[in-house]
Structure 1
Amino acid sequence: MLNEQISARKNSAISRGVGMQTQIYAARAKNAEVWDVEGNRYIDFAAGIAVVNTGHCHPKVMEAVTRQMGLFTHTCHQVLPYENYVGLAERLNAMVQGDFDKKTVFVTTGAEAVENAIKVARAYTGRPAVIAFGGGFHGRTFMGMSLTGKVAPYKQGFGAMMPDVYHVPFPVELHGVSTKDAMDALQKLFKADLDPNRVAAIIFEPVQGEGGFYPAPLELVREIRALCDAHGIVMVADEIQTGFARTGNMFAMDGYGIAPDLTTMAKGLAGGLPLAAVVGKAEIMDAAGPGGLGGTYGGNPLGIAAAHAVLDVIAEENLCARANELGSRLRQRLEAIRATTPEMVDIRGPGFMVAAEFNTADGTAPDPAFTQKIREEALKRNLILLTCGVYGNVVRFLAPITIEDEIMSEALDILEESIAAARES
């Protein structure tokens, strides 16, 4: 079967709303390599969008899932609970920042985690309003979509968003927005449109994902924490893309030394199986009554088993340190490329959550067309890259943290060739 034959079937069978960056149909994968149905080999610098941080088909993860499959695959934890769900909650409660008692709920997707975090915050505070940031991404459900600070393609054509959701600018020095600008916008919001005593939660990503891999300045995180404390607002850190060693810490908030009240997580949690969670202060997490949280598939036994193995692999293989090492290598290579590439205006990101931003050669405007050329040239050379950013002018690098050194070197050579080819075209 050829890729183009499957693609033709896809066009007839699947909604066009499911966007696809490639028409390469995967047949098998191992660590940072993927082979398509035609037998072509690719180096994967997407990792399922930061999902397989521990690599495709890590033996320890596969063994754990296989073992669980031989026992049972589903009972619904709300009907017949299982011990490893409890054990994983205990492990995550101990890992997340904060010197206070914590509790956890498991769901299936990142969007569900965000939805439940907002539900919990509203139940705890008795307030309706939520504040998010421009450029943020929090999912495609209606609350997630409403919180997301990017219209195209996430909000277009879907009608009215959820009420009582407000956005303020996210600090991006490159784009002329400072932490002071963001906090001033919050204060103006409180003066003009929103009583802070009506706000249930402020949600933010420690490093914006879809928005362009912009790290939140330390001062912003401090200011949000202080503001939440002053007004009784729940501080929610969306760690769905930043979690599980990606930023060189287990969670990005570890690098700030500031504890959020609630943390949402998914993606890298279960090594490719659908599992997500909300972890936070016990008194807040207990605000919802029995039956108010959960879901039929929430905390599925296979995902729970995989997540236990993922946490073991991160610890045993020291993947936080590995992320910092790989990120350093990548940034050094990008800096060398930047010396002859005026279009590359910024290199950023903690750990192995690195991005490069591209403008026109004169540096005056974002250049999404050039950025897409880089992705396309890399694809021709069998390297899978992802773009992101409000303007679509950012290449983000999300290879598995377990990538072998020789494959990393091969990928960096391809990247350099691809950028050069994009400049020549």
Structure 2
Amino acid sequence: MTSQITGRPERLRQERRVVTEIPGPKSRELQERRVGAVPPGVGSVLPVYVTDAGGGVVVDVDGNSLIDFGSGIAVTGVGNASPRVVERVKEQVERFTHTCFMVAPYESYVAVCEALNRITPGDHEKRSFLVNSGAEAVENAVKIARYATGRQAVVAFDHGFHGRTLLTMTLTAKSMPYKHGFGPYAPEVYRMPPAYAYRWPTGPGNCGPEAAAQAIDQITKQIGPLNVAAVVIEPIQGEGGFIDHAPGFLPAIAEFCQANGIMLIADEVQTGFARTGDMFACDHEGVVPDIIAMAKGIAGGLPLGAVTGRADLMDKVHGGGLGGTYGGNPLACEAALAVLEEIEAGGLVERARWIGETMVPRLRALAEKHDVIGDVRGRGAMIAIELVRGASKEPNPELTAEIVRRCHAAGLLVLTAGTYGNVVRFLPPLVIPEHLLVEGLGILESAFED
């Protein structure tokens, strides 16, 4: 079979294949070994142990081939083992695996930063540097904002998720499982309401301007704008349930920040790199952040994060104030350059839009049949459904868990999300073949019918 995106032969058969119960006996055996070696705090959505993956499938040790609607939580947008990524990483690993950019630099790090300066929102002069993860990117973005402004307060939003380090855990809104028992938390972090249209008291049409006015009013009264170093926000809240802020909210927050010397930090860790049908989710309403934090889809599965910001901000930090031993590892840099080539050559921004245009009508039709689906939302290949107990909008985490269980048993890998545990989220690889996308939607529909 030839890939619909790359035109190359597919290394794996692009088919769903369920040959054992899921998880199968070999996966269960590995799970028993895991219990004795790995702490239970490290969870797994589905304990099937993977031997291969690519295109739109994940293959486990028992020979089951599952349709992938998760992409490793939006990491493998270009697919697992994308040929471009594999080729560039292979070439690099034969040359050298590490020198530390802060000791003996190399061109690929610079090339990634040049590319990020070019493709991130805004035509102003920028600087970038590389780290290992999304949490590290967000934490460094806050460091830079505090340094550049001389202020301490940081504003985050309800339902937001920014990571598991001390500062990013503090920024994160959800207690269980991310914060419970891990305090005390970092000081000078304040939380505001987002523009959650489905649950806005006066209705979705009023949400954007009203939510912005409320957040700005609370910042002004409770903190004082001149004390705020940064506002940190996900353009679409990921772990919080794919909450796509109502129109007008982000531009209003950006305008308030600009008027008060506050740095707007866009956490595009999950939304970046073509996932939402734009290269970055901020592009949708023309919002230009001062600093942008990135990771996940940047390097096709290799650990890499990045911070890009206005040159006048980034250049203020003293020498040695930024960096890390592994940040911008040469293998990950080569992978990132291959990902950017793949996005452009494969038309993956447009492909993400097509995925959304395919999924959303099917999901809305499903919602019309089942009133337990309270909302269908998202953009591009970042789509979710929120499950409730009918018109009351009371969250329905039990049904959510059952729907996900049935999907997994039928060979469809899907993820949950949401502050209330009642959201099913869909993050298919941008290179998923059309027949697998359609088949996966059929499995979801059957789960509700059953």
What is the TM-score of this pair, normalised by structure 2?
0.91
Match of 1:105 in 2: 129
Q: CA contact under 8 A between 1:129 and 1:198: conserved in structure 2? A: yes
Q: 1:42 aligns with which of 53, 66, 82?
A: 66
Quick check: 1:312 aligned with 2:341? yes
Q: 48-57 or 281-290, which moves further after superposition?
A: 281-290
2:323 is aligned, of 271, 294, 299, to: 294
Where do 1:24-423 residues align within 5 Å?
Answer: 24-176=48-200, 178-179=207-208, 180-191=210-221, 193-421=222-450
Determine the C-alpha separation between the residues in 2 that align with 1:122 and 1:145.
18
Q: Residue 378 of structure 1: CA displacement?
A: 0.2
Q: Distance in 2 between matches of 1:142 and 1:75?
A: 28
SS in 1 for 2:258: helix
CA contact (8 A) 1:61 1:309 kept: yes
Distance in 2, matches of 1:188 and 1:27, equals 50
Q: Relative to 1, partners in 2 of residues 1:155 and 1:216: Cα closer, same or farther, differing over 3 Å?
A: same
Residues 63-112 of structure 1, C-alpha deviations (whole Å, 9 max, x = no match):
11111111111000000100111111111101111121000010000000
Q: Deviations over 1:247-286 (max 9, x none)?
A: 0011111111121000000000000000000001001111
- Distance, in Å, in 2 between the alignment partners of 1:256 and 1:185 is 19
**Native 8 Å contact 2:197 2:246 kept in 1:** no
Asked if structure 2 preserves the Cα contact closer than 8 Å seen for 1:347 and 1:354, the reply is yes
Structure 2: runs of 5 or more not aligned: 1-24, 202-206
Q: In 2, are the aligned partners of 1:325 and 1:351 still within 8 Å (CA)?
A: yes
SS at match of 1:263: strand
CA offsets per residue over residues 171-194 of structure 1, 9 Å max, x none? Answer: 112112533244324323422x31
> Is the 1:104–1:277 Cα contact (8 Å) retained in structure 2?
yes
Do the aligned partners of 2:154 and 2:231 also contact (CA within 8 Å) in 1? yes
Q: Please give the secondary structure, in 2, of the residue aligned with 1:70.
A: helix
State the shift of 1:222 in Å: 1.5
**Kept after mapping to 2: 8 A contact 1:130/1:203:** yes
**Equivalent AA in structure 2 for residue 322 of structure 1:** R
Distance (whole Å) between structure 1 residues aligned to residue 215 and residue 355 of structure 2:
37
Runs of 4+ off more than 2 Å:
361-364
Amino acid at match of 1:400: P
Between the aligned partners of 1:45 and 1:389, the Cα distance in structure 2 is 17
What residue ranges of structure 1 are gaps of 5+ in the alignment?
A: none
Paired residue secondary structure (2:236): coil
CA contact (8 A) 1:197 1:231 kept: yes
Counterpart contact for 1:46–1:386, Cα < 8 Å: yes
TM-aligned CA deviation for residue 217 of structure 1: 2.6
Give how far 1:225 is off: 1.2
Shift of 1:56: 0.9
Partner SS for 2:230: strand
State the distance in 2 between where 1:333 and 1:163 align: 45
For normalisation by structure 1, the TM-score amounts to 0.97
CA distance in 1, matches of 2:112, 2:189: 32
Counterpart amino acid of residue 353 in structure 1: M
| Partners of 1:86 and 1:189 in 2: CA distance | 38
Deviations 1:271-313 (A, max 9, x none): 0000000001001111211111110000000100000000000
Summarize deviations over 1:114-167 as a string: whole Å, max 9, x none.
000000001100111100000010000011000111111111000211000000
Q: CA deviation at 1:45?
A: 0.7
- In the alignment, what sits opposite 1:4? 28
8 A contact 2:278–2:284 mirrored in 1: yes
Whole-Å Cα distance in 2 between the matches of residues 265 and 23 of structure 1? 28
Give 3-state SS (helix, strand or coil) of 1:246's partner.
Answer: coil
Contact 2:263 2:290 in 1 (8 A): yes
The 1:62/1:14 distance shift into structure 2, 3 A limit, reads same
CA distance in 2, matches of 1:176, 1:258: 23
Partner Cα separation in structure 2 for residue 258 and residue 326 of structure 1? 24
Q: Secondary structure of 2:369's match?
A: coil
1:212 partner SS? coil
Question: Match of 2:403, SS?
Answer: helix
Identity of aligned residues (%): 45
Q: Residues 374 and 393 of structure 2 are in contact (CA less than 8 Å); yes or no, is this contact kept in structure 1?
A: no
Q: Is the 8 A contact 1:53 1:399 kept in 2?
A: yes
Letter in 2 for 1:405: E
- Is the 1:168–1:182 Cα contact (8 Å) retained in structure 2? no
